[in-house]
Structure 1
Amino acid sequence: MTRKLIALWCLFLSVMGIAQLYKPIDTADYTQRKAFLIKFTGNNEATIKKIKSQYSGKTLSELSKIYKDFGTDFEKQVKNKDFIFKSDFETSIQSLIQRLKKNNPQVPQDLKILIAKDNTPNAYCLADGTFVINMGLYGWLNNEEEIAAVISHELGHKIEDHSFKTFLKIIEQDNLDKITVQNIKSTTEKRSQSQNQKAFDIFKNTIYKKGVERRQNEMQADSLGYVIFRNSDFKKGEYVNALQKLEDFDTISPRALKIETYKKLFDLPKQAFNDKWMKKEDFSLYNYNFYKEKLNKDSLSSHPEMSRRIDQLKKTFTELKTSVTPEKPSDLFVTLKKVARMEALPNYFHSEDYGLGIYAAMQFLQDEEEEKYYKSWLGKCFSKIYEARKNYNLNRYLDRIEPKNQSESYQQFLNFMWNLSLDEIKNIADFYKTNETIAKAN
């Protein structure tokens, strides 16, 4: 959830200036989705068939299960319209990949592009060569060159086949751990404190080992990705610029929502603002990190600190020691950056992150942006929150407070949301839905 919260911040820094009458991207692309799924299913089955020709026993069964489960889950995502087809985003990415193929014969020739309705700046490549690009990359990075750098890094993972190798190591380590734990259990029927410690040590060492391997993979993908990037016609220093922007994403905190914003948005004609809504719960006596503190946090990190990755790149490739100013983005990139910004609320609504949708809408409205547009989404999200509260499943759509993992601003927001009664939520939803209807009529 922390990464989702930080993703909000990138949206608030994006460029402005798109019409209030903006309509979310149309996902009525049944024909394209059907064609993609047919090909994807065939490719996934071919991957499993290849695994069967190379492995046997438990390794075969575990690997086959991983790819079958992944295939099933990914098909559900496609059918759920989590991706968009035939967009200007795809055109932009295809152009970048063509440039990356220049002087890089190791880059797969049959890469397919999917744009995910996800606000986090991320990308990944599937076993069959399907490249998934999150819309959030365009909302966060400076230009096409930096997006090409992220793609190059992911190509490094793909070429080195890191995902498959990781699956193999996980299966191997899990089998070893099961044998070790079974031996501990067999020493006596009653588990002593020392045996509990031994079991915890196995768990701890396994996590540490996986963390080390993941960090090594990231470093390797950085280096190979840069070679691919350098061999193409991109400005070399932009590779580091992209990593530095992602470092900001990993470390920056969302801006605070002002108390005045709550009062402005929720002091309604038929429901006056109640200061009790802002009451905070005292979590000072809670210890959320009892087990986390027993583990070395650095060893648990799946991605090395970005500063370390950047330092390693500069050490390996001395030409990167000289910083460069980000290139001016193209007109197409600027347009896509605006679209990614306007798609933020539809994306949160689609993924059923209604609480985050309200939080984001309040941030945009605090900045006095596209008032009609964001107020309409405020009404839609509050309506869903009302339904969830009425059906006793609000936890599914609204976070609980976690002081160790959330900004003070977001904790205040969650206190506000949980303090609202069912009727109060309905009144807010009805008010903004009514205003949306009036706005459409005008």
Structure 2
Amino acid sequence: MIKKLLSFSLFYCFIISFGQVYKPIDTADYAQRKDFLKNFSVTNENLIKKNRTDYSGKTGSELSKFYKEFEKDFEKKVKNKDFIFNSVFDAKVKNLIDRLKKNNPQIPQNLKILIAKDNTPNAYCFADGTFVINMGLFNWLNNDDQLASVISHELGHKISEHTLKTLIGIVDQDQMDRVVVQNIKLNKENRNQQAFDVLKSRIYKKGAENRKQEMQADSLGYVLFKNSDFKKEEFINTLKRLEDFDTISPRELKVETYKKYFNLPKQEFKDKWLKKEDFSLYNYDNFKEKLNKDSLKSHPEIALRITYLKKIFPELKAEVKDEKASESYAALEKIARMETLPNFFHSEDYGIGIYSSLQFLQDGEEESYYKKWLGKCFAKIYEARKNYNLNRYLDRVEPKNQSESYQQFLNFMWNLSLDEIKNISDYYQTEKS
């Protein structure tokens, strides 16, 4: 959840002015989605046929199941409009990939670009060559070179066929585990503990393999990157930027901001709304974790990744400031920032949508635009509260995992009554607000 918050909560403030209220990207792209799914289905079927040829028996059939299930899940996401087609972002990504291809013939030629309505700075590439870029990357990274470095890393995964290797590993592990499970059934003592040990071993092994693949993708990705016309040092700067996303808490939402936007003409602000839940008597040490969190991680710490890259590529040891964004990148960065609320609303993250709207308003950005989203999100929170499913859209307070500011916000939201939520929703959905 903290990562979702950080996708909009930059630690510096800049004002965006479009001259008029920004209009979110239109997702009425039924024809494009239909054509994409048709082509994706054909490509995926060809991939399944190839795997059956390359891997006979149990491995081939299990791989086919994986790819068929993936196609079903992916089709749902496309139909749900989780991606946008022919957007302003496509040309930029295509240009960066073309620059990478120029001196790297090993990069596949059949890459298809897809922009996801996701605020987290991430990208991934499917086995068929579909390259997904989250909109959050444009908002979080600082320039073309940094975006190209993320693309290079994902191409490293693609060229190394890490997805296929992971799936084959799962199939092989399943077969080995079946034998172990049979032996456990024959043993009448400590069955539960033995079964848990098998599960733990499998999870740890998968985490270790994933971390190894990340390091490999970094190395190969950097080779692709430095063979192109990008500034080498930006590869490390990108990792540092992503490290910020993983480690820095969102900026504080001030009490004055609550009082400013929730002291309404027909509903005065109440101090009791900010009352915090008391967790002082809860003993967090009473529960002992059965799984080591570090062993569960699929990605190595970014600091370790940076150290590793500097060790094998000495030219990366120099510290260089981030390059200034090009005009074309800066324009896309502004659009991605303005799409933050539409994206949260689309993913039904209404609680975070309210929190982010308040932070934008606190910074003085596009007041009428973010007031509108404040109203839209409160309307959804009202419906959820009325239908007794608010937990689906609003977090509970978790003192160990959340910033003080976000805990304060959650206490505020849970302290509001149903009628009070409706009054806020109605006020911010009217033109008079």
User: Same fold, TM exceeding 0.5?
Assistant: yes
Q: Aligned partners of 1:221 and 1:97: how far apart in 2?
A: 16
- What's the counterpart of residue 50 of structure 2? 50
TM-score when normalising by structure 2: 0.95
Q: Aligned partners of 1:53 and 1:13: how far apart in 2?
A: 55
- What's the counterpart of residue 126 of structure 2? 126
Moved more, 267-276 or 144-153: 267-276
Q: Say yes or no: does 1:294 pair with 2:290.
A: yes
Q: Say yes or no: does 1:114 pair with 2:114.
A: yes
Aligned partner letter, 2:432: I
Aligned partner letter, 2:405: S
Distance 1:425 1:292, change over 3 A: same
Moved more, 1-10 or 24-33: 1-10
Shift of 1:58: 4.0
Aligned partner letter, 1:172: D
Q: Say yes or no: does 1:401 pair with 2:401.
A: no
Report the secondary structure of 2:429's partner residue: helix
Q: How does 1:386-397 map to 2 (within 5 A)?
A: 386-397=382-393
Unaligned runs of 5+ in 2: none
- What's the counterpart of residue 432 of structure 2? 438
Q: Aligned partners of 1:431 and 1:15: how far apart in 2?
A: 25
Q: How does 1:188-337 map to 2 (within 5 A)?
A: 188=188, 192=190, 195-286=191-282, 293-337=289-333
Q: Aligned partners of 2:363 and 2:410: how far apart in 1?
A: 20
Shift of 1:59: 3.0
CA contact (8 A) 2:9 2:356 kept: no
Report the secondary structure of 1:132's partner residue: strand
Shift of 1:181: 3.2
Paired residues, what number? 433
Shift of 1:177: 2.8
- What's the counterpart of residue 173 of structure 2? 173
Moved more, 392-401 or 342-351: 392-401
TM-score when normalising by structure 1: 0.93
Distance 1:342 1:108, change over 3 A: same
- What's the counterpart of residue 4 of structure 1? 4
Q: Aligned partners of 1:62 and 1:353: how far apart in 2?
A: 35
Tell me how large the CA RMSD over aligned residues is.
Answer: 1.9
Q: Aligned partners of 2:286 and 2:164: how far apart in 1?
A: 33
Q: Aligned partners of 1:287 and 1:140: how far apart in 2?
A: 37
CA contact (8 A) 2:382 2:421 kept: yes
CA contact (8 A) 2:97 2:148 kept: yes
Aligned partner letter, 1:133: I
Aligned partner letter, 1:21: V
Q: Say yes or no: does 1:140 pair with 2:140.
A: yes
Q: Aligned partners of 2:17 and 2:11: how far apart in 1?
A: 13
Q: Aligned partners of 2:163 and 2:284: how far apart in 1?
A: 32
Distance 1:11 1:91, change over 3 A: farther
Q: How does 1:22-33 map to 2 (within 5 A)?
A: 22-33=22-33
Q: Aligned partners of 1:185 and 1:287: how far apart in 2?
A: 37
The counterpart of 1:377, out of the listed 339, 357, 373, is: 373
Shift of 1:14: 6.1
Q: Say yes or no: does 1:358 pair with 2:354.
A: yes
Shift of 1:291: 6.9
Q: How does 1:28-43 map to 2 (within 5 A)?
A: 28-43=28-43
- What's the counterpart of residue 80 of structure 2? 80
CA shift digits 1:184-209 (9 cap, x unpaired): 23211xx54xx433333222222211
Aligned partner letter, 1:129: G
Aligned partner letter, 1:213: E
Shift of 1:289: 7.9
Give the fraction of aligned pairs with identical amino acids, expressed as a percent: 68
Unaligned runs of 5+ in 1: none
Shift of 1:63: 2.0
CA contact (8 A) 1:14 1:139 kept: no
Aligned partner letter, 2:16: M
Aligned partner letter, 1:239: F
Q: Aligned partners of 1:386 and 1:404: how far apart in 2?
A: 28
